[in-house]
Structure 1
Amino acid sequence: MTPPQAIEFQFDASEQAVRRALSRVRQFWQQAGVSDCDAGQAEIVLAEALNNVVEHAYCNTGAGRIELRCRVGSDQIDMTILDQGGPVPAHVFAQRTGPDTDVPLNDLPEGGFGWMLIQKMTCYLHYQRVGGTNCLCFAVLRGGNG
């Protein structure tokens, strides 16, 4: 029997639903034969992106839905996130170097690492808003090539 190579589903835009979605995707990746290393890298990127949707896209509404599409290819894992939350500000996609970490431990920033991780860990990253829908597409290379 051939393992599944694609999954698509919707879920509520909440922290708990994101955790359940990540668990479901991990199981899918395992069934699709994705290595633990590749799945771990893809999960970091996916978790950052999904948490951003919950925290920022739906921050003014308090509720919404997220659609996740994931396809496993021989060279990469392709993912698409769709939501009807607020648009992503253009400055978010500026190339990031990350916050200054050459400071005392107590002075380290709490945030500012998410988009930098997403940019550094993906081989493809594209955002567009069509009508009232945000569409974030990205890919993570398989085989430790990221």
Structure 2
Amino acid sequence: MKAFDFVEMRIPAKAEYVGVVRLTVSGIASRMGFSYDDIEDLKIAISEAITNTVEHAYNDKVIGEVHIGFGIYDNRLEIIVSDHGESFKFEDIKEKIGPYESLESIMTLREGGFGLFLIDALMDKVEINNDYGVLVLMTKYKNETEVDDDGNEISATSVSLD
């Protein structure tokens, strides 16, 4: 039995499709039980990753594809956004990528890096590979507890809707 579910999407590298992926990640994360704030973070991070691809991966004469994969685990959501790629095996991709370590390594990417800084701030873990195109693996862990308005820790199971 598989330890996770995997959902894969391919969209044209056009700005008008970013909203489609935002809706998809919102639906997946909501189904998994992520908080509202975490879902918003996921939507911003995936928008940044796809927008970088739309703006930088292909020239004006070529409309390429953006490949998005969602690894759905019990405790986390892993998202791969790639350009210039073919359909990928999630486990194989994870073995070939690693975290970025410095400003210099980010600045060598075509995107220039600012979007990756934002993604890194919103996600729990970010790994990249730019051997062929750019591949970004983003991980967001599901928090079992949240903080209420008074700063007290609450769990999702103790919230009353009364």
For each residue in 1:30-76, what CA deviation from the matched residue of structure 2 results, as whole angstroms up to 9, or x when unmatched? Answer: 23333222211111111111111101112454411011011233433
CA distance in 2, matches of 1:113, 1:134: 15
Cα distance, 1:115–1:44 mapped onto 2, change above 3 Å: same
Cα distance, 1:129–1:113 mapped onto 2, change above 3 Å: closer
Identity of aligned residues (%): 20
Q: Does 1:125 align with 2:126?
A: yes
Contact 1:68 1:80 in 2 (8 A): yes
Greater displacement, 66-75 / 10-19: 66-75
Structural RMSD (CA)? 3.0
Contact 1:5 1:32 in 2 (8 A): no
Counterpart in the other structure of 1:116? 117
Given residue 44 of structure 2, which amino acid in structure 1 is its aligned partner? I
Contact 1:42 1:77 in 2 (8 A): no
Gaps of at least 5 residues in structure 1 are 95-111
CA distance in 2, matches of 1:92, 1:57: 18
TM-score if structure 2 supplies the norm length? 0.61
Give the alignment partner of residue 106 of structure 2, picking from 82, 90, 93: 93
For each residue in 1:68-115, what CA deviation from the matched residue of structure 2 results, as whole angstroms up to 9, or x when unmatched? Answer: 011233433211112118xxxx84615xxxxxxxxxxxxxxxxx8533
CA distance in 2, matches of 1:44, 1:62: 26
CA distance in 2, matches of 1:142, 1:58: 34
Gaps of at least 5 residues in structure 2 are 86-102, 108-112, 147-162
Cα distance, 1:69–1:84 mapped onto 2, change above 3 Å: same
Within-5 A mapping of 1:22-33: 22-33=22-33
Counterpart in the other structure of 1:52? 52
Contact 1:58 1:64 in 2 (8 A): yes
Contact 1:125 1:137 in 2 (8 A): yes
Counterpart in the other structure of 1:67? 67
Counterpart in the other structure of 2:98? none
Given residue 128 of structure 2, which amino acid in structure 1 is its aligned partner? Y
Given residue 120 of structure 1, which amino acid in structure 2 is its aligned partner? A
Cα distance, 1:28–1:75 mapped onto 2, change above 3 Å: closer
Aligned length: 121
CA distance in 1, matches of 2:6, 2:32: 9
